[in-house]
Copies of this chain bind each other. A is one copy, B any other.
């Protein structure tokens, strides 16, 4: 751990690092069709804020794990996230043509290859995670699988699609986001931590509470940015929630109240970390960064 490093430097270094890790992992695919590999690279490389990877590195530091061990879980959660974006953008899902400032994967490669690139990124996430020298790699694969699956990320996407054009309560919206983005964020946090010393039950509960609050804050800010941002700053289509008649924190609460809600969730995230004192500095910084970001 480098406690004196400014957050921008720390996060920039890790964003650079995860890019290398992902690039190397994808190169380990002898015999794969070149066009499919190209689509996998397109979907996962050179893009995104790497929030999930940063969370894994931060909790790895918290439990004294070597960054080289955390590389695996960090890459795995980023691959799962990238696969979900490639699939969510497909015409039969959210039908979005712009992602991370570039044409969506299916616009660039066609629907069939984008679908398969998502499928193979999911598989490779487990290949990468299964190779990590952790105490209990089976538990790690189980945790990631459940976070990605029907009770987690992909299940949340199904709930999301089912509510297009309907009015949800704030509680239902929260449940949906806890599945759709919260589950993978929690997995990133837990998998990074599990690369180091074993956590006590109180510490696990604290990290879960942090994950819940920070994950929801991330989503509320996303909803606000969808209204206030532009495609140029967001790198994805702005105003698409309204265009798709999706229930959001902004449609339910209004912009001002949604911003207050994000700030309250950020405070909740900070409070959840009290257990760890100064050792959780990077997690505090990530929560603030999530809440104050402009894209």
Which A residues are closer than 8 A to B by beta carbons?
29-33, 35-37, 40, 83, 87, 90, 92-93, 110-113, 115-116, 118-120, 122-127, 129-131, 137-139, 141-142, 144-146, 148-152, 154-155, 157-159, 161-162, 179
Report yes or no: B115 in contact with A93, Cβ–Cβ below 8 A.
yes
Query: Shortest CB–CB separation between residue A179 and chain B, in angstroms?
Result: 7
Complex Cα gap A31–B150 (Å): 8
Complex Cα gap A125–B29 (Å): 21
Chain B residues contacting A111 (CB-CB under 8 Å) are 92
Query: Shortest CB–CB separation between residue A215 and chain B, in angstroms?
Result: 16
Q: How many copies does the complex hold?
A: 2
**Which of these, B112, B131, B159, contacts A93 with CB under 8 Å?**
B112
Report yes or no: A151 in contact with B31, Cβ–Cβ below 8 A.
yes
Report yes or no: B162 in contact with A146, Cβ–Cβ below 8 A.
no
Report yes or no: B150 in contact with A40, Cβ–Cβ below 8 A.
yes
**Which of these, B92, B112, B129, B151, contacts A161 with CB under 8 Å?**
B112
Report yes or no: B29 in contact with A150, Cβ–Cβ below 8 A.
yes
